[in-house]
């Protein structure tokens, strides 16, 4: 099928019509692009899994345009959830709640819970409103690939597989939403994002972050899969001297064109070597990381990234980069 990339209100209207007809449509959010379908229609939702090649035991997030529709998708909403929605929504936060009967198990991968998010991107807002139904949407990349932060990245992965990409420019946040579950005794962050543990704790008190260990069934089923993989090899190294050593070692061992990802202030250490500075702050690095990875994987044959920071937003970026590098963390 032909995949159109269109922008403006006409694209939003066309997208909403496609959703009502049971099709899938890619759309921008403030975090990354999503691949949406009518969350009430299991056949439509199934098309998301097919287009992405996504394992069907990995649940989807349901997107609303505002909090007033929450009971259309969730069975009950604890007071803590309202406190979090009030503080951070619309915005890059997903809350896992008990699911309503109207949400099919195709969306939740047979779980009795559903992840709910109210995106703030103006195009996402208009699109979901125009659809008139909650929109189930994972990130709009092929399964295992890097999450897309512009329409070109979506096209790269899903051309011929979906009818429409609504182009809303480059995503501001650049990494996916924070996912938190309130189904545990202590609220638990299942995926870190730019809404950090300390920001959440300021609102609701005690909260912990799931460390990613898989005991029996993973709590965020997405945690057990390969993620964010560039087509070239990728390494994470802490120390600038060791990064330079690794760069030279790679050149002697089969690579012809590696590149270093660094913080702006460290660029001076890598003079004469291929190097891309991702930003001064953790927020800037989050904004640039996936976008730059997609550019770099095509121009270079290995990526060596600095270990940016394990706290707060830097920690959320590293959560993605460790997965991109697989076990190649030094
Ligand atoms: O920013 C985002 O969250 C983007 C945009 C499009 O909204 N979406 C996104 O979706 O990143 P996806 O499918 O790539 O990641 C959703 C994550 C997965 O790790 C999934 O396992 C987890 O959320 N998740 C969804 N529903 C869940 C549930 N009921 N219980 C536990 N984890 C859930
Ligand atoms: Mg994803």
Query: Which ligand 1 atom sits closest to the C-alpha of 183?
Result: 30
Q: Which residues line ligand 1 (CB under 6 A)?
A: 29, 31-32, 34, 58-61, 92, 94, 96, 108, 111, 113-115, 117, 119, 137-139, 176-177, 179, 190-191, 219-222
pLDDT tens digits for range 239-248? 999 999 999 9
CB within 8 A of 266, min separation 6: which ones? Answer: 240, 277, 306
* Residue among 292, 233, 286 at smallest CA distance from 261: 292
Angle formed by the axes of helices 197-204 and 79-88, nearest 10°: 130
**Residue with CA nearest ligand 1 atom 18:** 222
pLDDT tens digits for range 51-69? 999 998 999 999 999 999 9
pLDDT score at 183: 83
For residues 77-114, one letter each, b for 16 or more C-beta atoms within 10 angstroms of the residue's C-beta and e for the rest, the string is: beebbeebbeebbbbbbbbbbebbeebbebbbbebebb
Instruction: Please confirm whether the linkage preceding 162 is cis (ω < 30° from 0).
Output: no
Query: Which ligand 1 atom sits closest to the C-alpha of 175?
Result: 1
Element holding 76 (H helix, E strand):
none
This prediction has a pTM of: 0.95
CA distance 53 to 226: 13
pLDDT tens digits for range 155-211? 999 999 999 999 999 999 999 999 999 988 899 999 999 999 999 999 999 999 987
* HSE-CB of 63 using CA atoms within 13 angstroms: 35
Helical spans, DSSP H, in the chain: 8-20, 42-52, 79-88, 105-108, 122-131, 151-158, 197-204, 240-252, 282-299, 312-324
* Res. 327 pLDDT band, cuts 50 70 90: low
pLDDT score at 141: 97
């Amino acid at each position: 099928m032909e995949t159109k990339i269109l922008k403006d209100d006409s694209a939003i209207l066309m997208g909403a019509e496609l959703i009502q007809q049971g099709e899938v449509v890619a759309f921008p959010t403030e975090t990354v692009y999503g691949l949406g379908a009518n969350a009430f229609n299991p056949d439509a939702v199934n098309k998301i899994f097919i287009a992405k090649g996504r394992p069907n035991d990995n649940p989807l997030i349901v997107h609303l345009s505002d909090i007033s529709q929450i009971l259309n998708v969730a069975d009950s909403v604890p007071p803590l959830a309202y406190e979090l929605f009030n503080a951070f929504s619309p915005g890059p936060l997903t809350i896992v709640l008990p699911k309503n009967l109207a949400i099919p198990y195709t969306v939740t991968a047979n779980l009795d819970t559903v992840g709910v998010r109210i995106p703030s991107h103006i195009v996402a807002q208009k699109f979901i409103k125009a659809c008139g139904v909650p929109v189930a949407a994972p990130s709009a990349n092929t399964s295992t690939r890097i999450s897309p932060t512009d329409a070109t990245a979506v096209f790269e992965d899903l051309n011929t597989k979906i009818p429409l990409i609504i182009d809303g420019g480059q995503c501001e946040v650049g990494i996916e939403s924070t996912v938190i579950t309130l189904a545990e005794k202590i609220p638990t962050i299942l995926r870190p994002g730019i809404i950090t543990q300390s920001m959440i704790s300021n609102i609701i008190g005690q909260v912990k972050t799931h460390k990613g260990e898989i005991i029996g069934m993973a709590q965020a089923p997405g945690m057990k899969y390969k993620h964010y993989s560039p087509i070239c090899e990728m390494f994470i190294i802490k120390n600038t001297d060791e990064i330079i050593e690794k760069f030279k070692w790679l050149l002697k061992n089969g690579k012809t064109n590696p590149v270093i990802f660094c913080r702006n202030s460290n660029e001076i250490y890598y003079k004469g070597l291929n190097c891309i500075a991702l930003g001064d702050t953790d927020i800037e690095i989050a904004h640039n990381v996936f976008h730059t990875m997609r550019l770099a994987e095509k121009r270079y044959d290995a990526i060596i990234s600095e270990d940016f920071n394990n706290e707060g937003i830097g920690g959320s970026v590293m959560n993605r980069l460790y997965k991109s590098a697989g076990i190649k963390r030094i």
